[in-house]
Structures are given as structure tokens and as C-alpha cells.
Amino acid sequence: MINAKTIFVAGLMGLSLMSTSALAQDASSSAASTAAPASSAAAPATSSASATPAVAEGDTVVKQHWSFAGPFGTFDKNQLQRGFQVFKEVCSTCHSAHLLAFRNLSEPGGPEFTEAQVKALAASYTINDPDADGGKRPGLPSDTWPGPDQTPADLKAAFGIVPPDMSVLAKARSTEDRFPNWIFNYFTTYSEGGPDYIHALLTGYEDPPADFKLPDGKFYNRIFPAHAIGMPPPLTDGAVQYAPGPDGSTVPLTVDQYAKDVAAYLMWLSEPHLDQTKSAGFRVMAFLLLFAVLMWMVKQRLWRKVH
């Protein structure tokens, strides 16, 4: 009998039929839409490995466990603060973040610095303001993050392109899942392709293979398309000194840790309201389920009379 179940199964069968051969192909063949840095030609190859980090081999992105993953995930405030520190001390030298306002750093759902801390931080930066004396003034919490000191032209000369703005970088990058994994993503709500990619890239610097021709001024990276990236490896062990947590706990000062922290921070920067959206979502879903049950009962009650 033709009903919803039949169609669903038929559709799935049809899709699997088509994709079986494609699935059997080498993982590095190009497939549907992925994100890639603007200057690349090929798509980054990925794996559909499970959340448990495995030994990275070849040029695959190993997915990480993120505190904010899944419907129940939330940001880890301490991780966001550490990530902000990495961003501030390392990344912001060359990368802008023009959609970040200082006040965002004290808003709920983020690193949640205190308002006093944010005020002091903002004041430590000089903002161009045509209304101010001499055209410059100390920053205010309402100001947005000032760009790097060097001009875009200088940066382009140094790196070949202007380093991309970081405001939505974690949304502008992704990993790719082959069929049928991408179907499961709709149920696990996997949205962490950006942080996974960023972490993999930052930990993906290594010596090029002997036969690899690395163009001048570029650096070898396992993850970056065509393996030649203009960004010099930004992180080294011990580069950023984290203060211990309120309870005295510490994290290892390693590239892997910095990469995780800054990737989580960049995810927050892209989606500052993630936590609030998810908690609103729970209330809406619970309400809808209740409402659906009630409507079902009303409909049944009415229709019982009809033959």
C-alpha cells in the first residue's frame, strides 16, 4: 500500500542506489558544496570519522568533541575566554573581526567577562573617530573590534591575500560528509564543520613531503587545499600563557589546546546567541509536542462522529 513509509523507503533506496558507486570511490574525489578559502581550486577532502578523535592520516579532518555540539551542547565559558586570549594575542595581529563589539564579550552566552573588564579592554584600544579630538579616542564597549594596525594593502603584500575577517569564519568553513552520514547530521544537528576545519588546519602544519614543490612564501599544511597556505604557522607550544581557572585547574599549553580554544571562540563569534537559541528551541519543541497531542485528540474526537 502506498503510504508515507513506502515513499520514504523507496526514496532512500533510490538515493542509495545512485550513491553506492560514488561511495565506493576514493574519499578525495570532489563532491557537493563545501567551503574553501577563496583562493583555492580544489575542495578540502574530509572523513566521516566518528566524534572520537582518531590518528589523522593523509589530508582528512578529524572531528573533535565540542562542548557546544548537538541539541544539548553549550559553550564552555572558560574555553571561550581562553580562545579570546589566543585571538587577541595571536590572530588579531593580522585578522580583523569587524562584527565583534567589545560589549559582546560581557553578554550572556559568551566568554562573559565582567563589564569592568570589557570597559578596560576597550579603553586599551585606540579607535578612529572623526568626531573626537585629533580623530582618535580610547575605545568604548559599544565600539567594534578595530582591525590590525597594518593596512589591508600591506597585509596583502605580505601574505598574498588580505587575511580573512574572522567574524563569521567558523560558519564560512565546513567539513563534508558523504552519504548517508549527512542524513544523520540532520538528527544530530551537526553544525561544527567550521571549528573542526579550523582546528584541523591549525594543527595541520608539518614538513612537506620530499617530492612536494612548495611555492615561495607559502607553508605546507595537511588540510589546506593544494597544501600551500599563505599563513605562517601561528601557534607554537607555550605561545599563550593561560591563567589558571577559578578553581586552580589548568589546561596544557599546546598547539592542539590553543587550536581547540580559538576554534570554539570563533564559533561563538559566528553564533553568539547559540546557547539562547537552543534553550528557546527546547521550550518551543516541548510546547509543539504538547499542542500536537491536544490537536490530535480534538481531531479524533470530532471525526469519531463521521462515517
Partner 1 sequence: MATESNLAHDETPDPGKRDFLYIATAAVGVVAVGGIVWPLINQMNPDASVLALSSIEYDLSKIETGQAVTIKWRGMPIFVRNRPQKEIDEARAVPMDQLKDPQTDQDRVKAGHDNWLVMIALCTHLGCIPIGESGDYGGWLCPCHGSQYDTSGRIRRGPAPKNLVIPPYKFLTDTKIQIG
Partner 2 sequence: MSAHETTKYVPSHPVARWFEDRLPLLGFSRELMDYPTPKNLNYWWTFGGILAFMLGVQIVTGIILAMHYTPNAALAFDSVEMIKRDVNGGRILQSIHATGATMFFFAVYIHIFRGLYFGSYKAPREVLWILGVIIYLLMMATAFMGYVLPWGQMSFWAASVITNIFSAIPIVGDPILQLLRGGFSVDNPTLNRFFSLHYLLPFIIAAVVVLHIWALHVPGNNNPIGVEVKDKRDTVAFHPFYTMKDLFAIVVFCIPFAWLVFFAPNILLSADNHIMANPLVTPPHIVPEWYFLPFYAILRAFDFNFILDSKLLGVIFFGGSILILFFVPWLDTSKVRSGNYRPAFRWFYWLFVINFLALMWYGSQEPATPVIGPFTVADTSKLSVLYYFAYFLVILPLLGRFEKPRPLPNSISEAVLTQPRAVSGADPAMPTAH
| Interaction mask 216-235, partner 2, x per CB under 8 A | --------------------
- Scanning 36-44, 47-55, 131-139, 236-244 for contacts with partner 2 by CB under 8 A, the matching segment is 36-44
Please check whether residue 215 is in contact with residue 221, taking contact to mean a CB–CB distance below 8 angstroms: no
Among 110, 193, 195, 204, the residue binding partner 2 under the rule CB under 8 A is: 193
> Is residue 213 classed exposed, middle or buried when 0-12, 13-18 and 19+ CB atoms within 10 A define those classes?
exposed
166 belongs to the binding site for partner 2 (CB under 8 A): no
Residue type, 203: T
Among 116, 124, 216, 303, binds partner 2 (CB under 8 A): 303
CA 244/CA 249 separation, integer angstroms: 6
CA distances from 165 to 94, 126, 285, 301 (A): 9, 19, 35, 58
Q: Is 281 in the site for partner 2 (CB under 8 A)?
A: yes
Q: Does 8 bind partner 2 (CB under 8 A)?
A: no
Piece of the chain touching partner 1 by CB under 8 A; list 6-14, 185-193, 263-271, 283-291: 283-291
Contact in structure between 159 and 94 (CB atoms under 8 Å): yes
Binding letters toward partner 2, positions 121-160, x by CB under 8 A: ----------------------------------------
Element (H, E) at 136: strand 136-138
Q: Does 23 bind partner 2 (CB under 8 A)?
A: no
Burial class (CB in 10 A: 0-12, 13-18, 19+), 251: middle
CA distance 140 to 135: 15
The answer to whether 301 contacts partner 1 (rule: CB under 8 A) is yes
Residue 89's SS3 state is: helix
| Interaction between residue 134 and partner 1 (CB under 8 A) | no
Nearer to partner 1, 3 or 142 (CB): 142
Could you say whether residue 50 binds partner 2 (CB under 8 A)?
A: no
Span 78-117, contacts to partner 2 by CB under 8 A: 98-99, 104
Question: Residue 213 or 307: which CB sits closer to partner 2?
Answer: 307
Going by C-alpha positions, the residue among 58, 85, 139, 292 that lies closest to residue 147 is 139
Q: What number of chain residues touch partner 2 (CB under 8 A)?
A: 71
Residue 103 in contact with partner 1, rule: CB under 8 A: yes
DSSP 135: G
Residues in contact with partner 1 by the rule CB under 8 A: 101, 103, 107, 131, 140-142, 287, 290-291, 294-295, 297-298, 301, 305-306
